[in-house]
A = this chain, B = another copy of it.
């Protein structure tokens, strides 16, 4: 049992130092490793398997909604990046520049893609000629690079993995519909697969994507009360289409610019999972994306029949669940701690006495429920337990968020709340960017989003006191 203790002691408690707790988990749950490539991460098998599960579910949803995958070049020539003014201003300061191929200097330097709007637009200009070519619903899974000064694994790294959807439509209405549809896909994924509640809403102009006319976002709240932007969906109107001279012959025989969207989520999602569900024993994974859903730990493994029984359970379950068995000679206690650290949703214990009684013990990662399950009912019972567990994870996160969401109508109260109570603050805003900047100065918060479907909580701007119609979620953010 000495081993178990050591393991647990190795993680900093989140109340003592949240940042260190996070770093401990990404390392000790074997999610990442560092390398001599500063600001980039090595995603280790256990971390990458989470990403593969995320990809698999989202990719299926994208395809169900009519999208096709493509692959664009890694590089963007400087002149191409420069084509849309707002966009280049947003990204140029943080791109990596390739200047040489082999020993020869390039005639034009190229950046490593920070995002691929410009490449998609150049391609769309080639392939869109008629209304018959629309909509174009493309997506790409790839790596992108943004030269961040301060980096943290998953949350902000110089290279990260993501998907970027880029679509073109005949009308502004269709583009807006698509933008919101994909935001809906993200929100649904967060809530139903990752068990993380999100606030869906629109970004203020100050916070929107470089070149977009509207950016929508899903915002999640982490354990420490900081917000995390979970995914964004942008409506570009026809701005890029004009800059890139993309035109189609419409039904009415006139040439028009199509309307465009883009939307993306990244490996940052793994950071969100860690900080929304994790605890002082380690990672806590939602079943939908857990690389191992059920870990079988044989107890008194060397007694006759135990290992055979455990293997036969594994074989029975392996086509339906991601199940493993730990046959190593570590103690059961060590294994319990290890798979808690790794956030495995269910631990299935089997000892000689259990086997005699034709049952096993299933313990949830949150240690709130323990189930004695007859071996011949496992296939039916495990999905129920996983569903209960997912619901519990969501409920916990939902209640935590509710307890950390404040509504303020007075500036003093806002500043006091922002200072002492981590979380979201709901407050009205007049729409003036000056007030947003001032709130940052006064309370060190940014506007996270203007939520959909929530009633105003007043009629005056929290900052300037002028008439206000916009409800805003404010917070400190990752």
Contacts and interface: CB of A to CB of B under 8 A. Distances in A.
Interface in A260-318: none
Interface string A152-169: 000000110100000000
Interface in A343-373: none
Given A80-B36, A161-B71, A100 B93 contact: no
Contact of A123 (B35, B48, B122, B123): B35
B73 A37 contact: yes
A70 B93 contact: no
Contact of A145 (B48, B51, B71, B74): B74
Contact of A98 (B41, B112, B127): B112
A68 interface: yes
A289 B245 CA distance: 36
B43 A70 contact: yes
Interface size class of A (residues with CB under 8 A): 35 or more
Task: Determine how many copies of this chain the complex contains.
Answer: 2
B97 A93 contact: no
Contacts of A159: 73-75
29 contacts: A33-B126, A35-B72, A36-B80, A37-B77, A42-B70, A42-B71, A42-B73, A43-B70, A44-B70, A45-B68, A45-B69, A45-B138, A48-B68, A48-B69, A52-B69, A73-B159, A74-B145, A75-B96, A92-B102, A96-B100, A96-B101, A97-B98, A97-B100, A98-B99, A99-B99, A101-B147, A101-B158, A102-B147, A142-B143
Interface of A: 33, 35-37, 40-45, 48-49, 51-52, 68-77, 79-80, 92-103, 110, 112, 119, 122-123, 126-127, 138, 142-143, 145, 147, 158-159, 161
